[in-house]
Amino acid sequence: MCNKLVLRGFWIFWVILLGPFVQAQNDSFVGFSIMNPTLHNPSWIGHDRIARVVLQARSQWTGYKTSFDGKGGAPSSLVFNMSVPIAAQFSGIGLSVLNETIGPLNNKVLNLPLSYNMALNRSKLILSLMPGITSRSQNFNELRFNDPRDPFNNIGTQETQTLFNLGFGALYSLPRNRYIGLSISNLPQPEFNYGLSGVSNKSATSYTLIFGASKSLKKRLELRPNLVVKTDLNTLTFDLGAQVQYNTRIWMGTSYRWSEAIVIMGGYSLMERNRLKLGFALDLVIQENQAKKATSQEIYLRYDLLDFVFGGKKKIKTPRFIN
């Protein structure tokens, strides 16, 4: 009963808070976001007591060219995550690196998340902190300004600025392979003004909700529905999807990204105890096609170091819904 009340209260809170903001948001999702949830919530670091590395590469709107010079400019990103459980404290530490290019803009992000697990009867609460740095490089020579009085129009060179950032996460794991999480990123709202006084260019604080479950079906099938919601309290986007896994090795899935695309994905697990996972995702753009290319592609690779725990031996097995 307590768990049901918690879930109901959580959903009512988000419906009230986010109802007025359902529209497209700039923060982009990746096709395998639910396979690599540390992208959205640092509390996943060490949550299953398994050390792992994850690599994702994404090419968005493949073949896109700018309208005024015909050059490239489509977003592309590369993500590397590593997480290691800590034996003594039932917690975890991690490393997250992101390199993202969008036209003349390049973002490099380095985060060092730390999580702490607390047992609550049959449930588990995981809290996390994610300090890091964000480096943003902008080539102003490649920009075209509508207003010649724009202060950034006077820079005319490539500028780079590196600032401290901080995030927070909470993950509530329930019996029967259900989970719900909330995270906050850009807490200090880093301001990339490239040294221009009187110019405000803050990164908005972002809030992310993750919800998911796992249910065993007949004939070695397992269903995994999931929902990811993001908002900066001005705009909102969400990704609703589901995956089906067969015999713990083969999995396929699809998701719908609000006002953006339908995603089709699949993958296969290799080696002993499925420690190596490979996947491919294809985005099919369904709105605003005139300003984008029709597809985006993404590859996913994960390797589990099943017997490695920092400071001791692994004692807790992986919950099924996060395999």
Mean pLDDT, residues 8-32 taken together: 45
pTM score of the predicted model: 0.81
Confidence of residue 98 (pLDDT cuts 50, 70, 90): very high
309 or 29, higher pLDDT: 309
Residue whose tokens read 């489509």? 74
Please tell me the predicted confidence (pLDDT) of residue 211: 93
Q: What are 218-250's pLDDT values in tens digits? A: 888 999 999 999 999 999 999 999 999 999 899
Domain residue spans in the chain? Answer: 2-144+151-190+202-322
Q: Are 44 and 124 in contact (CB under 8 A)?
A: no
Confidence of residue 317 (pLDDT cuts 50, 70, 90): very low
Sign for the CA dihedral angle at 46, 49, 55, 61 comes to negative
Mean pLDDT, residues 294-315 taken together: 78
Residue 262 has pLDDT above 90, yes or no: yes
> In degrees, to the nearest 5, what angle opens at C-alpha 243 toward C-alphas 240 and 244?
150
Mean pLDDT, residues 195-204 taken together: 78
d(CA 305, CA 48): 12
Residue 95 has pLDDT above 80, yes or no: yes
5 or 176, higher pLDDT: 176
d(CA 281, CA 57): 10
CATH number for the domain formed by residue range(s) 2-144+151-190+202-322:
2.40.160.40
Q: For the chain, how are helix, strand and coil distributed in percent, rounded to 5? A: 15, 50, 35
2 or 175, higher pLDDT: 175
Please tell me the predicted confidence (pLDDT) of residue 73: 74
Q: Are 84 and 97 in contact (CB under 8 A)?
A: no
